Structure 1
Amino acid sequence: MAAASQWRRTWQGLKRDRMLYLIASPMLLFFLIFKYVPMWGILIAFKNYTPYVGFWDSPWVGLEHFRRFFGNESFFLLLRNTLAINLLNLIFFFPMPILLSLMLNEVRREWLKRIIQSIIYLPHFLSWVIIVGITYLMLSTSSGFINKLLDALGYEKIDFLTSQGMFWGLLTLQSIWKEVGWGTVIFLAAIASVDTQLFEAARMDGAGRLRQIWHVTLPAIRNVIIILLILRIGHMMDVGFEQVYLMMNGAVSDVADVFDTYVYRSGIQQAQFSYSTAVGLFKSIIGVILVVLTNRLAKKFGEDGIY
C-alpha cells in the first residue's frame, strides 16, 4: 500500500509539472545520450580492446593498464605540468573575473558599462587557433611585433615561445585574456541580486565604495565564489588540450606535455585505446575525489557547498 501511494504521488507530480518536464526533456536527453550512455566505454580501461575483436570479446586485463601508466617514467612529469598549469590558473585567473565584476559594478554610466562588457566578452568567442595565431604574431622571435620593437630600441630579442621558463606564464596570460570577460557573467548576475538596502545602510553608516565592496558585495556573493572554486578544483587534472597542443613545440615539450596531450598521442596517434581510457579514467577519479574533499572542507567552514 505504501509503495502504491508513493507511486500515485509521483505520478500526480509528473502530471502536474508535465510542461516543465517537457521543457527540460531536450537537456535530459542530451545528458542521457552523450554523458551516460558513453560511460560503458570506461570498461575498455580494464580490457585489451582492439576494434577488430570488438568491445565484448576483447580480453579482460584488470588493472594492467593502470600499473603500466603509474610505472611510466613520464607519469610524474605529466602530473607536475598539469598541476603547475592549473595552480597558476587557480591563483591568477580565478580571482580576475571577481575583481573585474566588482570594477564593472562600480561603473555608473550604463552605456559605458555595456561597451566595456562587449569588448571584454569578445575574446571568448575566438577559437584557440586564432588566440595562438595572435600570440605568434606578437611574440615570435623572427617576426613578432614585440621582438621587432625590442630590436628597434636596441635590446636583445626574447625567445618567448621556446622558453621553458615562460611557457606556463604564457598559457595563464592567454587564458586570462580569452576568458576573464566571459567569467564575469555569473559574478555580475550574483552582484545584481544583492539587496540594494544593504548598500544604502552601509552608506548611512559612512562606508565608502571600498568598504561597501568588502563588507556588503563580497559577503553577498561568497557562496557563488565558493561553488565555482569547488568546481574549478575538480578540474585540476584537466588542461585545455587545444591551447596546450597548439602552443607546444620541441623546445618546451618537457614543460608542455600534460595528461590531455598524452592521451591524444597514446589513444589517437598510437591507437592504444584501452591504455588512454585508463589514463582518462584516472583523471576523472581524481577530479571526483577533489570535488568531494573540497566540498567537505567548505562545509566545515560553514559554507553551503555544492551538495
Structure 2
Amino acid sequence: MTRHAATETGMDALTHKQTKLARLARRVYRYRWYYLMMLPGLVYFLIYHYLPMVGVVIAFKDFNLIKGIWHSPWVGLKHFEEIFTSPDIYRTIRNTLMISTYRIIFGMLPDLLLALILNEIRVRWFKRTVQTITYGPYFLSWVIVYALAFSFLAPESGLVNTLLRHLGMNPIDFLTNQEYFRTILVTTDIWKNTGFGAVIYLASLAAINPQLYEAAVVDGAGRWRQLWHITLPGIRNVFLLLLILRIGHIMDAGFEQVYIFLNARVYETGDIIDTWVFRRGLENLEFSMATAVGFFKGVVGLVLVIGANKLAKRFGGSGIW
C-alpha cells in the first residue's frame, strides 16, 4: 500500500468516526429531556449503589475501625476461607435457597392469578375495591405483619389456637415450631405482596392490543382460548422479567421479614445468610467477614441473573438485555 493510499484510508476512518459522533450528538440532543429526567436516578444509583462498592476491599483486609479501610492489613482470602469452614454457613445457605425457592414457586402465581381475575371483572367499582384491599398490605411494615400473625398464631391468645382448644385439640406453638416456620414466612409474604405484583401484571395486560380479542371473538374463540392464545403470551415477557429479577435475589430470602419472625428455636430451618451476617458483622463487629459474605452473594446473584437471562432468550423471551 502506497503512502497516499494509506493516508486516504486513515482519512476515511477519521471521517467515519466523526460521522458516528455527530449522529450520537444529534440523538442525544433530540432526546435531551429524557436524559435530563434520567439524571436524578443515575445520580442516586451512582452515589448510593456504585460508589459504596469501593468498600468491598474490606473483604480482603482485616478491617480495623481506627486504622480505616486503606490502612487495615491485607489478608487476602482469609475471610472467605473462614466462611466456608464455618459449621453454620452450609445450613444458612440451604435455608436461604429453600426459602427463596418457595417464594418464587408459590409467590409468583398468586400475583398472576389475581391480575387475571381482576382483568375479567367488568364492574369498575368492585374491581377497584378488590384491588385496593389486596394492594393495601404492601404498605404495612413487617413489624405490623408479625403483630397480625402473632394475634392469629400465639400459643395462648391466638385466634387459631383458641379455635383448636374449642374443638378439643391441643394448641400448637406455630411461631417457634421448625415445621411451620417456612410456611408462615411464605404465607405472610404472599398476603403482603400479591396485590403489588398484580398491579405490574395489570399494567402489562392493559398494553395488549384489544383488536386481538375482537379478532378472536370473530373467529369463535371463547374466554379460555383468548386467555391461552392472547393474554398469557402477552404477559409472558413480563413474567420472565420478574422471574429473572427474583432469581437474581435468590441469596437474599427477605432479611427484614426473617429477622423479625426469627427466634432461637427455629434457627435450624429459618436462619439465613443475612441474619447470620447481621449477628457476625454488627453484633460481633466482624465487618470484614460480613463484607466477604456480601461479595460472595453478589457474585452468585450476578451469575444467576446472566444464566436466567440467557435461558429466557433461548426459550423465546426478551430477557433483561
Same fold, TM exceeding 0.5?
yes
2:216 maps to a residue whose letter is: A
Of the structure 1 ranges 140-149 and 121-130, higher mean CA displacement relative to structure 2 is found in: 140-149
CA offsets 1:91-148 (integer angstroms, 9 cap, x no match): 1111110111001100011111111110000000000000001001110001111111
Specify the alignment match of 1:295 in structure 2. 309
State the structure with more CA Rg: 2
**CA distance in 2 between partners of 1:136 and 1:142 (Å):** 10
**CA distance in 1 between partners of 2:269 and 2:133 (Å):** 32
1:46 maps to a residue whose letter is: F
| Alpha-carbon shift at residue 228 of structure 1 (Å) | 1.0
CA offsets 1:194-240 (integer angstroms, 9 cap, x no match): 11121122222332222211121001111111111111111110121
CA offsets 1:33-71 (integer angstroms, 9 cap, x no match): 101110101111111111101111111111111111011
**CA distance in 2 between partners of 1:128 and 1:102 (Å):** 27
Greater per-residue helix proportion: 2
Specify the alignment match of 2:81 in structure 1. 67
Query: Does residue 283 of the first structure (1) align with residue 297 of the second (2)?
Result: yes
Query: Does residue 268 of the first structure (1) align with residue 276 of the second (2)?
Result: no
| Alpha-carbon shift at residue 306 of structure 1 (Å) | 1.1
SS of match in other structure, 2:68: coil
Specify the alignment match of 2:240 in structure 1. 226
Query: Does residue 209 of the first structure (1) align with residue 223 of the second (2)?
Result: yes
| Alpha-carbon shift at residue 188 of structure 1 (Å) | 0.3
Specify the alignment match of 1:110 in structure 2. 124
SS of match in other structure, 2:176: coil
Query: Does residue 80 of the first structure (1) align with residue 94 of the second (2)?
Result: yes
**CA distance in 2 between partners of 1:104 and 1:280 (Å):** 39
Specify the alignment match of 2:320 in structure 1. 306
- Residue correspondence of structure 1 range 1-307 to structure 2 within 5 A: 1-2=14-15, 4-307=18-321
Specify the alignment match of 2:8 in structure 1. none
| Alpha-carbon shift at residue 278 of structure 1 (Å) | 0.3
Aligned residues: 307
**CA distance in 2 between partners of 1:5 and 1:263 (Å):** 53
Give the TM-score normalised by the residue count of structure 2: 0.92
Kindly, what percent of the aligned residue pairs are identical?
48
1:158 maps to a residue whose letter is: I
Check 1:204–1:160 CA distance in 2 against 1; reply closer, same or farther (3 A cut).
same
Gap runs ≥5 in structure 2: 1-13
| Alpha-carbon shift at residue 170 of structure 1 (Å) | 0.5
**CA distance in 2 between partners of 1:232 and 1:198 (Å):** 31
What RMSD, in angstroms, separates the aligned Cα atoms of the two structures?
Answer: 1.4
Of the structure 1 ranges 139-148 and 204-213, higher mean CA displacement relative to structure 2 is found in: 204-213
